[in-house]
Amino acid sequence: MTEILLIDDMAGVRRAVVSMLTRAGHQVTAAESGSQGMDLLRSRHFDLVITDMLMPGIDGADILSEVGSLPNRPKVIAISGGGAGVSAESALRLARLKADAFLEKPFDSEVLLAAVDRLLVKSP
């Protein structure tokens, strides 16, 4: 059974993404902030991390760099609704650069599941 970690501070997004994934038979743990996600990442292994990029406090960039340092690096899908300002721009650039996939919100179920399947099949 693959383990997926979803990190997003927006409740509506968490609910939608969790619904899509569980219906497709995936095991999902949802974190409602960057720091909660960070704690979970450090406590156990996940095969795939889906993280929002722009969050207050610990954000997607921090999550990406933490994931990069893990011994058995999980795959990462970065998701974002876009944003204004220099920090948003650099976060999105980073997401495109470091994540295994990047999805712009709002995305369809098919798009998300296709990305998840692609990444999890490839993982060892």
Partner 1 sequence: MIGPVPPGIPAALEAALPSRVNPSHTAPDCALTLAESEARHRDLADIASDWLWETNADHRFTFVSKRFAETSGIPWALIAGRGLGDLVELGFDPDGMQDLRATIDGRREFHGEVHRVTPPGQAARFWQLSGKPFVDPESGRYAGYRGTGTDITARIEREAAMHEALRRAELAEQEARLASVRLMDAIEAIPEGIVLHDAEDRLVMCNTRYGEIFDLPEELMRPGVRYEDVLRGSAKRGTFARDEQALDDWVAERMARHRAAGPPHYEQQLSNGRWLKVVERRTGDGGIVGIRIDVTAARQREAAERERGKLAALGHLARGAAHEINNLLQPALVLPAMVRDRLPEGDAESREDLDFVVEAVRKASRIVRDIGIFARHEEPVLTPLDLCQELRATLGFVRNLMRPAVMVREVNLDAFAGCLVAANKSELIQVMTNLLVNAAQATPGSATATISIGRIDPSADLAELLSIEPGRPYLTVGVADAGSGMDEATRARVFEPFFTTKPVGQGIGLGLSVVHGILRSWHGAVTVDSDPGVGSTFTLYLPIVAA
Q: Which amino acid, residue 118?
A: R
| Pick 70 or 104: Cβ nearer partner 1 | 104
Interaction between residue 33 and partner 1 (CB under 8 A): no
Going by C-alpha positions, the residue among 92, 39, 80 that lies closest to residue 29 is 39
Strand partners, 102: 78
How far is residue 82's CA from residue 84's CA, in Å, rounded to a whole number?
Answer: 7
Minimum distance, C-beta of residue 82 to partner 1, in the bound complex (Å): 5
Quick one: which of 27, 68, 70, 89 contacts partner 1 (CB under 8 A)? 89
Quick one: which of 2, 29, 36, 109 contacts partner 1 (CB under 8 A)? 109
Q: Which amino acid, residue 45?
A: H
Quick one: which of 19, 27, 65, 123 contacts partner 1 (CB under 8 A)? 19
